Amino acid sequence: MKTKLKLTTGLVLLTICPALQAQNPVVQTSYTPDPAPFVYRDTVFLFTDHDEDDAQYFKMKDWQLYSTTDMVNWTYRGTPMSTATFQWAKQGDNAWAAQAVERNGKWYWYICAEDTTKHLHGIGVGVADSPTGPYTDPLKRPLVPGDWGYIDPSVFIDDDGQAYLFWGNNGLWYARLNEDMISLGSEVIRVNTEDTDAFGPLVVKHDYQLNKRIPKTNYEEGPWVFKRNGIYYLVYAAGGVPEHMAYSTAKNINGPWKYQGRIMNEAENSFTIHGGSIEFKGRNFMFYHNGLLPNGGGFRRSTAIEEFTFGENGEIPFIPFTKEGVRTPTANLNPYQRVEAETMAFGYGLKTDRLPGNNHYLTSIHNGDWLRLRAVDFKNGEANHVVASLPKVRAGGTIEFYVDNLGGKPIAILPVAPTDKKQQEWQADIQKKVTGIHDLYLLFRGGDDELFDFDWWQFK
């Protein structure tokens, strides 16, 4: 994912890079397909799959977690689960689409992986006391045993407290969940996806079991279920391959469903599309994935977001793709409290660790790498120095802080010298007072070798 860009004295070539203003995809340190956002109090947690950097097919070993309080700056929260969490799953691969929900202080992360007893994908569930884990598999077996098309789980809790689990590729199934959230409270029910009133006109597409093209349902996979103003919504990938996004609605969770049309076109540089919507701080956002990161494609996909407004009668409008994504933050970032280094609106050349737990850091930092944070509120400019914590220093270098763009003079230059000591704090004076709300850029300089790992920073 990394392409080196040389820096010249007195001129930062990145100032003319279009990526400086782009927001989509929203994570650049990993490929993050199949986004599943969940609003919890004042935070949006983003549960994602993880395409490997060298994937030539669906090469997926683990699931990742991100969070935001402003919808533009995203913090990596770790890799809390992998196929190793589930002893019944094929190890080291097939960590496919998933969705999580919180209930009564517990977190339930519904995943699909290859059921080794049936050699088909099944639905499992990891349980934890916090979104960051640690997650365990209480069942030691699939919640829904493997069968053809049993992928892409979507969990939904209705107003009366009844929870449901939907899933399916080239077919749509659902069942009630018991209050424990780890057992089914009904038989598995199949929805008639060939009902054109429910899911739109049939399309001619390839049937992988029959190995030929035949008329099939417009519904493809990736259901996302939610409720708004008494109406149930079912958003899904549609139209065969390549997929677009469509939706249907119903007045009852058991249907009948009514097809409402296309809401997103085929994803850019990806033959699949997968995602869902949330309401956060009175605004609505649609998540999806595309293949637009460097070296991206149909097997290396990334989360993107668009803001939208429901129609007067609850319609989801057609939502065009944009490079800008979320234009207006829902809050500002406070630089006077600890900011995790793995928090950013956009990053170039950087990677994060692949650890579970709550302590994470940026790594693979080289000369010319950088990150951008949006809507940083410096208030009255009371800070006179900046502090950074680095868990490991290799070749050393500098961290330069810029306001609004990477041109001109930095407001602070923080030197980092090579050392064998772990988790050191480094400090530098702020050379120019900054007030009000600005974008903030951190630029890393040094030699040709990897410079250091980076844990957090703070203006003081």
| Pair of tokens at residue 207 | 């049937």
Q: Please tell me the distance from the alpha carbon of residue 84 to that of residue 303, in angstroms, as a whole number.
A: 24
Supply the CATH classification number for the domain 35-308. Answer: 2.115.10.20
Spatial contact of 371 and 344, defined as CB atoms under 8 Å apart: yes
| Pair of tokens at residue 372 | 């951008």
Please report the pLDDT score of residue 208 as a whole number: 66
CA dist list (Å): 362 to 75, 233, 404: 11, 38, 22
What is the dihedral sign for C-alpha 72, 358, 59, 122? negative
Alpha helices (H) in 154-301, listed in sequence order: 196-199
Spatial contact of 350 and 419, defined as CB atoms under 8 Å apart: no
Please report how many Cα atoms fall inside a 13 Å half-sphere around the Cα of residue 76, on the Cβ side: 31
Query: In sequence order, which residues have a C-beta less than 8 Å from that of residue 366 and are 6 or more positions away?
Result: 2, 4, 349, 444, 446, 448, 449, 450, 451
- Number of residues that make up the chain: 460
Would you call 329 exposed, middle or buried from its count of C-beta atoms within 10 A (0-12, 13-18, 19+)?
middle
| Pair of tokens at residue 404 | 């609004």
Across-strand partners of 179?
none
Q: Tell me, yes or no, if the two domains 35-308 and 339-459 fold the same way.
A: no
H or E, element range at 97 = strand 96-103
Instruction: Name the residue among 299, 276, 298, 271 with its Cα closest to residue 286.
Output: 276
Across-strand partners of 304?
288
The residue to which tokens 């809790």 are assigned: 157
Residue by residue, pLDDT tens for the chain (460 residues) are: 444 443 433 334 444 354 556 799 999 999 999 999 999 999 999 999 999 999 999 999 999 999 999 999 999 999 999 999 999 999 999 999 999 999 999 999 999 999 999 999 999 999 999 999 999 999 999 999 999 999 999 999 999 999 999 999 999 999 999 999 999 999 999 999 999 999 999 888 777 667 888 888 899 999 999 999 999 999 999 998 899 999 999 999 999 999 999 999 999 999 999 999 999 999 999 999 999 999 999 999 999 999 999 999 999 999 999 999 999 999 999 999 999 999 999 999 999 999 999 999 999 999 999 999 999 999 999 899 999 999 999 999 999 999 999 988 999 999 999 888 887 999 999 999 999 999 999 999 999 999 999 999 999 9
Check whether the bond before 256 is cis (ω within 30° of 0): yes
Q: Please tell me the distance from the alpha carbon of residue 99 to that of residue 283, in angstroms, as a whole number.
A: 21
Query: In sequence order, which residues have a C-beta less than 8 Å from that of residue 307 and are 6 or more positions away?
Result: 283, 284, 285, 286, 326, 327
Instruction: Name the residue among 18, 64, 61, 40 with its Cα closest to residue 289.
Output: 64
Q: Please tell me the distance from the alpha carbon of residue 40 to that of residue 101, in angstroms, as a whole number.
A: 9
Q: What are phi and psi of 19, to 5 degrees?
A: -65, -20
| Pair of tokens at residue 53 | 């950097």
Spatial contact of 380 and 459, defined as CB atoms under 8 Å apart: no
- Domain extent listing, the chain: 35-308, 339-459
Q: List pLDDT tens digits, range 20-59.
A: 567 999 999 999 999 999 999 999 999 999 999 999 999 9
Q: Please tell me the distance from the alpha carbon of residue 255 to that of residue 234, in angstroms, as a whole number.
A: 10
Please report the pLDDT score of residue 56 as a whole number: 94
370 CB neighbour count, 10 Å cutoff: 27
CA 443, distance to chain mean position in Å, is 24
Please report the pLDDT score of residue 14 as a whole number: 43
The residue to which tokens 């809507």 are assigned: 375
Check whether the bond before 25 is cis (ω within 30° of 0): yes
Please report the pLDDT score of residue 178 as a whole number: 98
In the sheet that holds 172-177, the strands lie side by side as 154-157, 163-167, 172-177, 189-191
Query: What mean pLDDT, rounded, does the chain reach?
Result: 94
Please report the pLDDT score of residue 10 as a whole number: 35
| Pair of tokens at residue 342 | 């793995």
Please report the pLDDT score of residue 209 as a whole number: 65
246 CB neighbour count, 10 Å cutoff: 23
Q: Please tell me the distance from the alpha carbon of residue 43 to that of residue 281, in angstroms, as a whole number.
A: 10
H or E, element range at 347 = strand 346-348
Q: Please tell me the distance from the alpha carbon of residue 60 to that of residue 63, in angstroms, as a whole number.
A: 8
Pick the CATH number of 339-459 from 2.60.120.260, 2.60.40.3080, 2.10.109.10, 3.40.50.1820: 2.60.120.260
Please report the pLDDT score of residue 84 as a whole number: 97
Please report the pLDDT score of residue 422 as a whole number: 81
Please report the pLDDT score of residue 346 as a whole number: 97
Spatial contact of 203 and 218, defined as CB atoms under 8 Å apart: yes
| Pair of tokens at residue 167 | 């899933």
